[in-house]
Amino acid sequence: MKRIHLIGIGGIGMSGLAKILLEKGYHVSGSDASPQSPTCQELVQKKIKITPHQAKNIHKNLDLVIHSAAIPPHNVEILQAKKLSLPLQKYSTSLAQIFNPRKGIAVCGTHGKTTTTAMIATCLEKAGYNPGYLIGGHYPPTHARLGQGNYFVAEACEYQRSFLDLSPKHIVLTNIEAEHLDYYQDIHDLENAFSTFCHKLPQHGTLIFPYHCPTSQEIAQNLKTKINTISFGIGKQTKSDLRAEHIQLLPHKTLFQAFYHKENLGEFQLQIPGLHNVYNALATIALAHEMRISLHKVKKTLKDFSGVQRRFQIITRKNGLLLIDDYAHHPTEIRATLNACRQKFPNFPLWVVFQPHQYSRTYKMLEELALALVEADMVILTDIYQARERSEWKARVHSLDLCQRIQWLGGKAKYIPDFSQIANYIPSFITPPAVVLTMGAGNVYKLIPSLIQQLHYLSKRSA
């Protein structure tokens, strides 16, 4: 039995890979900076041994060592693997080895990848394709499976150009905006990476792309003539191949009519809120239409789709107080999440606990972040979450800079660095009914247990 060790096994992609490798019959072990995390403990339940990073985890009995993109080259286990001359490869290479022999469907883009990947994987599953998939967020009953069918659906990450390891038959491109500028030189460098990826499509492959995104349009126009392209968009005036019209953003559901050219595909319903999820659904409908999946099955799948963990996840609701958790960390994602919240709970004051993600992103997008967050009724800012970036960025920006900018724009904001202080502060000043939204790509979710306790205590007093 092949023995494989995963460095950074607690990451969402790496944990999914671990599940698939187990299905393939390999002996899997792993290490992580947070071996007690819920993700790691789920894998421990599957008999995977997980420890902190340490050189002794790497030994000559291993057949392969895999590391995530978040692991630095000076990690003790990477150094030990090199010392022992063990085969060492990155996560994206390992994913490609599973993905490329199948009919691969790659979902890429700056925003919406995780939800769209989950929608597509579920559609294929309900249609009887028995697909394999790897989703970049926890999704019940599992975010990754090998599958026995011909298709494999994967979230294709642009960070470090990782998606260039994949050779897909179909690409679903959600959008392209400035992101990962700690790695890419500028937006043009990022756009070139997406273009290179889309040009990997084979003859008779398919690119599904957003009509409203000029860069995506340009990429589609420059592809080989024998590649099928399907654009999607919103509004009667759009010239996209697939479009949504008569959109109703209601508190308990979203309704829209879909048209493919002149063909009326009928009414679709979503239970997850937000205009951004109409775009995600359109991308899914476009692929399903290309694969000739029954419209009835697509409609039912989208109607029943309840979302992915940490994507507008309602944690608790009691006596007029709601706690919602979301992964949004880019200005566009923040605006979309706040708009979704206003749609679903139109008369509730909205308190946001935002943890800025990365010093470099906060520095480069300070104005855009402030303009997005000012739409909340109250913003509480934690310290900036540092991830995979050079330490010199830390001296350039602080959460207080963002706090002051929000205040200058006329918003209400307060900087509170300590999670326990936040959990105590909010119940002292908030009045039901209200929404508390924790938001960020770091570890802001760790605030939730103590916040639940304090909010439940407040709801009892208000009942």
Catalytic residues: 113-114, 155
Beta bridge partners of 260: 242, 263
Where do we find the tokens 């393939």?
24
CA distance linking residue 168 with residue 157, whole number of Å = 13
CA distance linking residue 246 with residue 234, whole number of Å = 9
Residues 224, 290, 17: CA angle, nearest 5 degrees:
85
φ, ψ at 121 (rounded to 5°): -60, -40
Pairing of strands 378-381, 413-415: parallel
Pairing of strands 254-260, 242-249: antiparallel
- Whether 172 contacts 196, CB under 8 Å: no
How many angstroms separate the Cα of 380 from the Cα of each of 303, 376, 412?
Answer: 34, 10, 9
Beta bridge partners of 153: 105, 133
Q: 100-116 burial by CB neighbour count: b if 16+ within 10 A, else e? A: eebbbbbbbbbbbbbbb
